[in-house]
């Protein structure tokens, strides 16, 4: 019997193919939103990886980077670039190289995780102590939790409020401090599979966010729905209550000439090498447990106790979990073979993130029963079936 489809604001789900295909080179499938396959059965991210290795002139990209930075570099030591930074391996590399290789004066800004892990907080502190000015943004804790609850219910991903702030807050600080340049790490759409819209340019516009990152619905829609659900109270919905989650008006962005750029446009993006660099230069420490739940790696997405549930819900909705994501990139970086990646995915992708489950339920103020009701409502019938009373994924990479 097919499950009743949930009321959802995740517009990606309407475009999900019912025939599952896996990439011939990596372990991603066509269930990943906005990922395209060519006639040879190779995904867009693997095609881009080949493009990086054979077509892009990295010397020319370096020249473009130096030209850009020369244009923005301050002569008096005042801040000249905003770097969104968690203290993780990727942002640490970007900030450190901008400061020490290119002579820039970065102001780093951090949108706080939902629930810091001990290692996440330690890495953040190590990063700041390594020589960086930083502003740590803490949104209203009560509203943030409620927003995460609505996102969990209506998007199958509590993570959305973090994404809102991660995108919007650096733009707000750039406008506030009159700094017209922001540097993020990688263009995830082209590196991991997604839209190729911005593949050949170093930046994107806030106008792209709703389609590429917010699943087709921004914070205003979540708040409106949360009010109808009784999660938000009318008194909480003030004009500026959720200002931190939104980009500045485009008129202000354009007046400043503000642009965000991806480091991955100018330098080949290799996450494992970022880890080694950050460990050497800013004291970044990998997961003390040896690996993160649902995967085999120890150096990615360590900051937040709720992080595992973002990946787990992706596994439920798309049949692709955290190990799939890590293995895809390591194939494209030449670190493992597809055969090795398949074994890793089959071993770890399905693992439930048990360690912080109780804290996750408490954070969202839901019961374990309700958690599974929501999770099960997001299982697409073309991906999941019940066998002997247990849910089984129909299509696993081989």
DSSP run (H or E) holding 213: none
CATH number at residue 257: 3.40.50
pLDDT tens figures, 168-199: 999 999 999 999 999 999 988 889 888 888 87
Please determine, for residue 5, whether its predicted confidence score (pLDDT) is greater than 50: no
Rounded mean pLDDT, 282-298: 96
HSE value, Cβ hemisphere, 13 Å, CA-based, for 251: 0
Q: Is residue 258 part of a domain?
A: yes
Half-sphere exposure of 350 (CA within 13 A, CB side): 12
389 lies in a domain?
no
List alpha helices for the chain, DSSP H.
44-54, 58-72, 89-100, 118-129, 141-155, 160-176, 188-192, 209-212, 219-229, 250-256, 263-266, 271-282, 307-318, 322-332, 338-348, 357-364, 368-377
For residue 87, pLDDT over 80 is answered with yes
Q: Does 1 or 396 have the greater pLDDT score?
A: 396
Count how many domains the chain has.
1
Residue 285 to residue 306: CA distance in whole angstroms: 19
Query: How is residue 39 written in tokens?
Result: 């006639």
Residue indicated by tokens 């787990």: 312
Q: What proportion of the chain, given as a percentage, has pLDDT over 90?
A: 85
pLDDT reported for residue 239 = 66
| Residue 318 forms part of a structural domain | no
Other C-beta atoms within 10 Å of 319: how many?
A: 26
Please give the average per-residue pLDDT across 336-353, as a whole number.
98
Three-state secondary-structure class, residue 235: helix
Query: CA-to-CA distance for 269 and 156, rounded, in angstroms?
Result: 29
The angle at the Cα of 171, spanning 278 to 310, to the nearest 5 degrees, equals 60
- pLDDT, one tens digit per residue, over 53-83 is 999 999 999 999 999 999 999 999 999 999 9
d(CA 144, CA 162): 9
Tell me whether residue 43 is in a domain.
no
Say yes or no to pLDDT of 4 above 60.
no
284 occurs within a structural domain: no
pLDDT in tens, 193-232: 888 888 788 988 777 777 767 777 789 999 999 999 999 9
Give domain status of residue 232, yes or no: yes
Residue-range definition of the domain harbouring residue 130:
58-266
Is 109 within a domain?
A: yes
Q: What is the pLDDT of residues 242-258, one digit of tens each?
A: 999 999 999 999 999 99
With a cut of 90, say whether residue 2 has pLDDT above it.
no
Mean per-residue pLDDT for 359-365? 98
Determine, yes or no, domain membership for 95: yes
Residues in the chain: 398
């Amino acid at each position: 019997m097919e499950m009743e489809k949930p009321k959802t604001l995740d517009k990606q789900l309407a475009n999900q193919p019912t025939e599952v295909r896996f990439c011939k080179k990596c372990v991603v499938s066509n269930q990943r939103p906005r990922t395209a396959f060519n006639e040879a059965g190779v995904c867009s991210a693997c095609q881009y990886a080949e493009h990086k290795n054979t077509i892009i002139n990295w010397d020319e990209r370096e020249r473009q980077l130096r030209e850009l930075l020369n244009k923005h570099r301050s002569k008096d030591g005042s801040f000249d670039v905003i770097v969104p930074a968690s203290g993780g391996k990727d942002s640490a590399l970007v900030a450190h190289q901008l400061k020490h290789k290119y002579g820039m004066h970065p102001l780093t800004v951090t949108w706080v995780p939902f629930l810091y892990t001990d290692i996440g907080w330690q890495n953040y502190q190590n990063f700041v102590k390594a020589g960086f000015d930083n502003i740590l943004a803490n949104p209203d804790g009560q509203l943030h939790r409620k927003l995460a609850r609505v996102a969990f219910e209506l998007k199958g991903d509590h993570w959305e409020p973090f994404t809102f702030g991660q995108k919007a807050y650096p733009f707000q600080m750039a406008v506030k401090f009159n700094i017209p340049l922001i540097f993020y790490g990688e263009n995830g759409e082209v590196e991991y599979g997604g839209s190729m819209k911005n593949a050949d340019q170093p930046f994107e516009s806030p106008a792209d966010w709703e389609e590429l990152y917010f699943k087709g619905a921004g914070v205003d829609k979540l708040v409106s729905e949360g009010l109808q659900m009784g999660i938000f109270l009318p008194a909480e919905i003030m004009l500026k209550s959720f200002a931190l989650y939104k980009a500045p008006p485009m008129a202000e962005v354009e007046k400043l000439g503000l642009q965000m750029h991806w480091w991955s446009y100018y330098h080949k993006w290799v996450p494992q090498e970022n880890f080694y660099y950050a460990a050497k230069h800013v004291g970044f420490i990998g997961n003390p447990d040896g690996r993160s739940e649902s995967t085999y790696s120890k150096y990615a997405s360590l900051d937040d106790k709720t992080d595992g549930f973002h990946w787990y819900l992706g596994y439920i909705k798309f049949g692709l979990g955290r190990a799939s994501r890590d293995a895809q990139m390591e194939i494209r970086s030449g670190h493992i073979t597809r055969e090795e990646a398949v074994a890793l995915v089959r071993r770890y992708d399905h693992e439930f993130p048990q360690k912080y489950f109780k804290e996750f339920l408490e954070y969202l103020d839901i019961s374990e029963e309700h958690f599974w009701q929501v999770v099960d409502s997001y299982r697409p019938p073309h991906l999941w079936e019940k066998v002997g009373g247990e849910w089984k994924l129909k299509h696993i990479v081989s």
